[in-house]
Amino acid sequence: MAGRRRGFDREEVLDQVTRAFWRSGYDATSVADLTKLTGVNPPSLYAAFGDKKALFNEVVERYRRTYGAFTTRAVDEEPTARLAVERVLREAAVEYIAEDRPRGCLILSAPELGHLRKAAIAALEDKIRHDVDTGELPARTDPHALAVYVAAVVRGMSDLARDGATREELHHVAEVAMSAWPSPVP
């Protein structure tokens, strides 16, 4: 038996909340900020999403499936680790500076999401290791070290974007970073 219908679009509110957490972080974004931003009063917000922590968790999941999905897609779709990393860096330079969004990466900016970052490094490391095994990369290549290096560069790019870097600067970073990629022995 149903009752009164929700007076707001759950997805639209979730996107507004995502951008707020993305811009300012979890702690610096108050529930009062969110109610003012969305026009949804506290009881409705809590009924729809649970408490602030649960709302943030849902925001993170949504972010992974939308704004943050380009990294996973590159690693999954590109045939080699080199092409995957090239694409991640090239796309990050665009994504992290997109005009109608907060800058940088929500996940890379949230201290409590280290497990997601660790998983991303492991996935890239596996892809690198595969290329070492097939001879696509030299046998001397250390897959873990190379994956952690890429992680460092991407995090640096996200931080720089938040500091106001330009798209050209990030593209330069990507270009220079790729020149550290191991070249096969002849």
| 41: phi then psi, degrees, rounded to nearest 5 | -75, 155
Please identify, using beta-carbon distances, which residue of 76 and 112 lies nearer to DNA: 112
User: CB 23 → DNA: shortest distance, Å?
Assistant: 14
Structure tokens at 179: 């020149």
Q: If binding is defined by CB under 8 A, does position 91 make contact with a copy of itself?
A: no
Q: Is 101 within 8 Å of 67 (Cβ atoms)?
A: yes
Among 14, 48, 123, 151, binds a copy of itself (CB under 8 A): 151
Q: Give how far Cα 149 sits from Cα of 15, 21, 121, 124, 152, Å.
A: 32, 27, 10, 11, 5
Q: Is 51 within 8 Å of 57 (Cβ atoms)?
A: no
Please identify, using beta-carbon distances, which residue of 41 and 166 lies nearer to DNA: 41
The option from DNA, a copy of itself, none interacting with 172 (CB < 5 to 8 A, set by class) reads: a copy of itself
Q: Site residues (CB under 8 A) for a copy of itself?
A: 27-28, 108, 111, 114, 117-118, 142, 144-146, 148-149, 151-157, 159-160, 162-165, 169, 172-173, 175-180
